[in-house]
Amino acid sequence: MIYLDYAATTPVDPRVLGKMMAYMTQEGQYGNPASLTHAYGKAAQQAVMIARQQVADAIAAQAHDIIFTSGATEANNLAIKGYAEFHQRRGKHIITAKTEHKAVLDTCRYLQQQGFEITYLDPQDNGLIDVQQLTQAIRPETILLSLMLVNNETGVLQDIATISQVAHANGVQMHVDAAQAIGKLDIDVNALGVDLLSISAHKAYGPKGIGALYVSSNPRIRLNPQIHGGGQENSLRAGTLATQQIVGMGEALQIAQAEQATESQRIRELQNRFWQGLQTLGHVYINGDKARRVPHIINISFAGVDSGALLVLLPQLALSTGSACSSGSIEPSHVLQAMRIDKALSQSALRFSFGRFTTQADIEQALQQIIPAVQRLRLISPYYQS
């Protein structure tokens, strides 16, 4: 089977696993990083310190601004709910976009039930947020803007630097979900101008179950914690730190940062070959901006076919019709709907995502399977005219 679903998750890099193993078994450093009365705990604490710095380096932040969480979903919850609850006396309006991940949308819907007002911006047809429209949506009571840096379904790269300037000029704080961007792009929280940034390890060849929230200390961003008990992570996120997970995250991001430039170029070439190979089919369309996108993700509509039927004809390819978090649902992609993609094309869309272990041979084999499958479905269709 060929794995083309790196946007859903990535395998743990063997180099990462090697580092993690040292903090798990009796032969290793398995102590609780908060147990500073003995060497086991101190060793674990030291490992966490190093990993925290590695994570901070990956986004050009300070180590003390990194709060470890169980993943990007928890980081999003902490950022949005935590900020909203702390600052609600200043205002109760939050702005996000209809194309955000469910981790953000559902969190915002929860806040709506708690009395907050949420504006869900419509993207342009290319998936990018119109800065003019955003500016008009900001009100005196707006306290937070939450947008993702890279869309998980389309790979569209949002112009966060410009958007955060608009937010700050209007006294609004900026939260960015960077789960799909980490390890794939240069991320500099200062250059981007973000106040809160969510990341996870498992999309950058680290383990599942660990993520982080960057919380700016300059200016200092205050949040209400969402998990209480124990005082860990500056009392923002209680719970024993999972040393091996944190070590894995740090190592994964350090490797990704070191290899990012060459990897991105390699993957861009793979994507270009893939897209070029599909041209023989005709009537295939990229969903999302053609220029402002990452090379790792490409969302393609195949006119005349149903994506669910296409997946059945591609049993040797691991693919997704959209977000993994919602691919079990039969609903059309909310991202493509928000982009006003034609309904039939939306139903024919598949997300292909490439990664560190994707090879040229994988691309060629995928094309050899996809092309005849699409042709077969188009032959069966009463509507497709070649």
Partner 1 sequence: MDKNQQLFDYISNSQYVGCLDDTQADVGFGSAGQQGLSDVVHFYIASDGEKITAVRFQAYGNAQTLASAAFVAQAIDQKAISIARAINYQRINQQLELRAQNRNSALLCEDALQRALDHLEEKYE
Contact between 308 and partner 1 (CB under 8 A)? yes
Upstream peptide bond of 219 is cis (omega within 30 degrees of 0): yes
Helix ranges restricted to H, the chain: 14-21, 39-58, 72-87, 102-113, 131-137, 160-169, 189-192, 243-278, 307-312, 334-338, 343-347, 360-380
Cα 98 to Cα 103: distance, rounded to the nearest angstrom: 12
Closest approach, Cβ 312 to partner 1, in A, equals 4
Residues with active-site annotation: 325
Closest approach, Cβ 382 to partner 1, in A, equals 4
The count of chain residues that interact with partner 1, using the rule CB under 8 A, is 18
Binding residues for partner 1 restricted to 335-354, rule: CB under 8 A: 343-344
Contact between 368 and partner 1 (CB under 8 A)? no
Cα 185 to Cα 304: distance, rounded to the nearest angstrom: 34
Nearer to partner 1, 36 or 380 (CB): 380
Among 135, 141, 312, 360, binds partner 1 (CB under 8 A): 312
Cα 251 to Cα 54: distance, rounded to the nearest angstrom: 7
Contact between 328 and partner 1 (CB under 8 A)? no
Contact between 306 and partner 1 (CB under 8 A)? yes
Among 330, 331, 361, 385, binds partner 1 (CB under 8 A): 330
Helices vs. strands in the chain: H and E counts, helices first:
12, 12
CB atoms within 10 A of CB 338: 18
Nearer to partner 1, 261 or 312 (CB): 312
CB-based contacts of 352, cutoff 8 Å, min separation 6: 4, 274, 297, 298, 299, 300, 319, 366
Binding residues for partner 1 restricted to 181-220, rule: CB under 8 A: none
Cα 148 to Cα 199: distance, rounded to the nearest angstrom: 11
Contact between 371 and partner 1 (CB under 8 A)? no
Nearer to partner 1, 44 or 345 (CB): 345
Cα 180 to Cα 94: distance, rounded to the nearest angstrom: 22
Closest by Cα among 2, 9, 8, 10 to 366:
2
C-alpha pair distances (Å), 96 with each of 21, 137, 145, 238, 272: 39, 10, 6, 27, 32
Window contacting partner 1 (CB under 8 A); options: 25-33, 112-120, 163-171, 375-383: 375-383
Nearer to partner 1, 160 or 377 (CB): 377
Among 39, 131, 169, 380, binds partner 1 (CB under 8 A): 380
Among 315, 340, 359, 360, binds partner 1 (CB under 8 A): 315
Closest approach, Cβ 301 to partner 1, in A, equals 15
Contact between 262 and partner 1 (CB under 8 A)? no
Contact between 2 and partner 1 (CB under 8 A)? no
**Residue 181, Cα to own-chain centre: how many angstroms?**
6
Nearer to partner 1, 157 or 377 (CB): 377
Closest approach, Cβ 257 to partner 1, in A, equals 39
Q: Say how many Å lie between the first and final Cα of the chain, rounded.
A: 30
Contact between 382 and partner 1 (CB under 8 A)? yes
Residue 64 DSSP class:
G
Residues that bind partner 1 (CB under 8 A): 304, 306, 308-309, 311-313, 315, 330, 343-344, 376-377, 379-383
